[in-house]
């Protein structure tokens, strides 16, 4: 089956990005300013906290919201260019959208939901249904084709929504939190299937999510925005290795600080120093995972170079471990096993000593993204 690989619209020049956009939206005090390119076959995840402008960006791409400035070019065709007073309405854009709660038309069967797009793109009823049946088969949903959306499980509905978006063979596939509506168990399966279908999609894919795992599993490249601006961009590996904001650090599960390094010693706020294994001179980020933080009832002796008194601010479950939020000279998250926590009798408000081995910290320059 190769229908999914047939490309729509003008074929872009070899090597040119399929999507080339600079999305600018001004709305009151909020300003989205997002340069964005996606190559054919590439999956880019747009990550960010609530209110960062992810959904706004997706809506401009879909034509549900006009740009204030900038431009939007898809497959060599201008879709939105305020400077040239050019705007192509949603229904004439070569896009497919999987909405957060899917928005399957409740009055149509799964088959007719998927056939809706092809029918609008000029196929007759018969051929549109054949195309839809083909897509449902690819999603493993043939036996559910006649069901109405409310007779489908969450995972099935998600796949129907994906089939519906892909059935128009879009140059750009937009996914808005595609897994957010699913429970944890279904999410795992659906995510794996989604990954296969995205890999098979020849067009560009933009995935909007606030779930780092979705982004890490599904995307080739991550674009992280906060307050409408890009704060970090790159592959999962580079971002995980060197987060550049608190949000990104939390996203990838690291403690992150900014300071001034002099050799192995980094001065953080309030005269507090950390010793690190990576020597550097100048402005740096220093990061370490919560699992690198050890807690002691009193000041420890011996090897760890970094120890400081802290107070327990909160305790949460985190996987099999407990995540301890500490206040003190710096805010730190520490992971301990339940056994250790019981042994130390950890309770909120309790003073403890925190320790981090220098070898477990990573320091990297805080200058512009390399």
* Site residues (vs another protein, CB under 8 A): 62-64, 89-93, 95-97, 99, 103, 105-108, 116-117, 120-121, 143-144, 148, 150-153, 156, 164-165, 168
225 vs 247: CA distance, rounded Å: 10
What is the CA 313 to chain-centroid distance, rounded? Answer: 29
Coil, helix or strand at residue 291: helix
Please say which residue, 121 or 264, places its beta carbon nearer to another protein. 121
Nearest-approach distance from CB 206 to another protein, in angstroms: 13
Please say which residue, 204 or 231, places its beta carbon nearer to another protein. 204
Name every residue whose Cβ is closer than 8 Å to that of residue 188 and which is 6 or more positions away in sequence.
none
Coil, helix or strand at residue 250: helix
Beta bridge partners of 326: 312, 332
Please say which residue, 106 or 370, places its beta carbon nearer to another protein. 106
Please say which residue, 108 or 230, places its beta carbon nearer to another protein. 108
Nearest-approach distance from CB 137 to another protein, in angstroms: 15
Please say which residue, 128 or 334, places its beta carbon nearer to another protein. 128
Instruction: Compute the residue count for the chain.
Output: 370
Please say which residue, 203 or 259, places its beta carbon nearer to another protein. 203
Name every residue whose Cβ is closer than 8 Å to that of residue 17 and which is 6 or more positions away in sequence.
37, 38, 39, 204
Cβ-contact 256, 301 below 8 angstroms: no
209 vs 137: CA distance, rounded Å: 27
Place of tokens 């309790």: 350
Nearest-approach distance from CB 95 to another protein, in angstroms: 6
Please say which residue, 38 or 249, places its beta carbon nearer to another protein. 38
Coil, helix or strand at residue 196: helix
Nearest-approach distance from CB 107 to another protein, in angstroms: 4
The token pair that represents 308 in the structure block: 């400081």
Q: Where are the alpha helices (DSSP H) in the chain?
A: 54-62, 110-120, 125-138, 154-166, 184-200, 212-218, 236-241, 246-252, 338-344
Name every residue whose Cβ is closer than 8 Å to that of residue 301 and which is 6 or more positions away in sequence.
none
Nearest-approach distance from CB 120 to another protein, in angstroms: 4
- CB burial of 216-227 (b: ≥16 within 10 Å; e: otherwise) equals bbbbbbbbbbbe
Nearest-approach distance from CB 87 to another protein, in angstroms: 14
Nearest-approach distance from CB 1 to another protein, in angstroms: 21
Please say which residue, 103 or 236, places its beta carbon nearer to another protein. 103
Nearest-approach distance from CB 89 to another protein, in angstroms: 7
Nearest-approach distance from CB 54 to another protein, in angstroms: 16
Nearest-approach distance from CB 168 to another protein, in angstroms: 6
Query: Which strands make up the sheet holding 204-209, listed edge to edge?
Result: 86-87, 77-81, 69-74, 19-27, 30-38, 229-234, 221-226, 43-47, 204-209, 172-176, 95-98
> How would you classify the pairing of strands 229-234 and 221-226?
antiparallel
Please say which residue, 164 or 221, places its beta carbon nearer to another protein. 164
19 vs 172: CA distance, rounded Å: 8
Please say which residue, 95 or 334, places its beta carbon nearer to another protein. 95
């Amino acid at each position: 089956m190769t229908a999914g690989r047939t490309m729509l619209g003008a074929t872009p020049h070899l090597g040119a990005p399929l999507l080339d956009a600079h999305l600018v939206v001004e709305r009151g005090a909020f300003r989205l300013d997002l340069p964005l390119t996606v190559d054919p076959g590439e999956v880019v995840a747009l990550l960010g906290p609530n209110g960062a402008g992810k959904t706004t960006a997706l809506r401009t791409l879909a034509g549900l919201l006009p740009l204030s400035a900038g431009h939007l070019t898809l497959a060599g065709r201008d879709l939105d260019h305020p400077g040239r007073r050019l705007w192509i309405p949603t229904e004439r854009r070569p896009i497919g959208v999987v909405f957060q709660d899917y928005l399957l038309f409740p009055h149509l069967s799964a088959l007719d939901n998927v056939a809706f797009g092809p029918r609008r793109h000029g196929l007759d009823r018969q051929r549109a249904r054949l195309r839809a049946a083909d897509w449902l088969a690819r999603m493993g949903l043939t036996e559910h084709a006649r069901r109405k959306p409310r007779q489908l499980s969450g995972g099935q509905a998600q796949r129907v929504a994906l089939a519906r978006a892909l059935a128009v063979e879009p140059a750009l596939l937009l996914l808005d939190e595609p897994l957010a509506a699913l429970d944890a168990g279904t999410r795992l399966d659906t995510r794996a299937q989604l990954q296969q279908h995205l890999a098979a999609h020849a067009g560009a894919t933009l995935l909007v999510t606030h779930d780092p795992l979705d982004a890490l599993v599904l995307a080739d490249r991550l674009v992280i925005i906060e307050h409408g601006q890009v704060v970090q961009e790159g592959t999962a590996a580079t971002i995980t290795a060197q987060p550049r904001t608190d949000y990104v650090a939390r996203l990838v599960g690291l403690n992150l600080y900014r300071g001034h390094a002099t050799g192995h010693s980094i001065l953080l706020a309030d005269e507090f120093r950390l010793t690190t294994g990576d020597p550097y001179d100048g402005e740096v980020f220093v990061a370490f995972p919560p699992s690198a933080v050890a807690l002691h009832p009193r000041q420890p002796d011996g090897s760890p170079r970094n120890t400081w008194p802290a107070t327990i601010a909160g305790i949460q479950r985190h996987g099999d471990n407990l995540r301890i939020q500490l206040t003190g000279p710096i805010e730190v998250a520490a992971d301990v096993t339940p056994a250790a926590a019981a042994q130390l009798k950890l309770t909120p408000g309790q003073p403890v000593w925190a320790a981090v081995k220098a070898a477990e910290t990573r320091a990297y320059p805080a200058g512009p993204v390399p």
